[in-house]
Amino acid sequence: MAMRLLTALARRAEVPVFPVVGARGLARVETLRRRPGLRLVDSPRHARVLLVAGEVAPAHKRALERLHAQLPAPRGTVWWQGSPLGSRLFERGETVAGDDPLEAIRRAAHAGDPDQRPDVPPHPWERPRATPAYCSEPGSCHQTLHEADNR
């Protein structure tokens, strides 16, 4: 009986959603801000569902994969008024054509999408570009930090 109560409470809890706004999707996302049962979050790390609202250009496929990788598991994806980009990207995501994505978002929150880029970190570290080293005298700043590292 206690498990049923906990399950019922969990189903009524707010679902944290990270919205990605595509073409003609901003107004739709703004209407969701006032919906009970949803909470739009500012970071993918705090979300359970990635909501892609509107059409997204194929050039942004890699960026969407990175966003998807930053969501903690279990995570879900909902395409609202748009279409998934390719067969490999978000294979288990739901597509919603209507005006109300709430039920699809709730289903996606419990579905659990697989990793799209399992061998790539969500945000790979890159070494900063070469910058001038400390200059003790004017005009002697031609050495870079990378050259100083190689000494």
Element (H, E) at 107: helix 102-111
Would you list the domain boundaries of the chain?
A: 2-111
Tell me the DSSP string of 31-54: HHTT-TTEEE-SSGGG-SEEEEES
Q: What is the pLDDT of residues 35-56, one digit of tens each?
A: 888 888 999 999 889 888 888 8
Task: Work out the average pLDDT over 75-93.
Answer: 69
Q: Span 2-111: which CATH code?
A: 3.40.50.12280
pTM, 2 dp: 0.66
- Name the token pair of 101: 């994505």
Given this model, what pLDDT does residue 136 score? 59
> How far is 47 from 50, CA to CA, in rounded Å?
7
Q: State CA 59 to chain mean position distance.
A: 16
> How far is 145 from 142, CA to CA, in rounded Å?
10
Q: What is the pLDDT of residues 85-125, one digit of tens each?
A: 654 455 566 677 777 788 888 888 877 776 666 666 656 66
- Name the token pair of 126: 């890159």
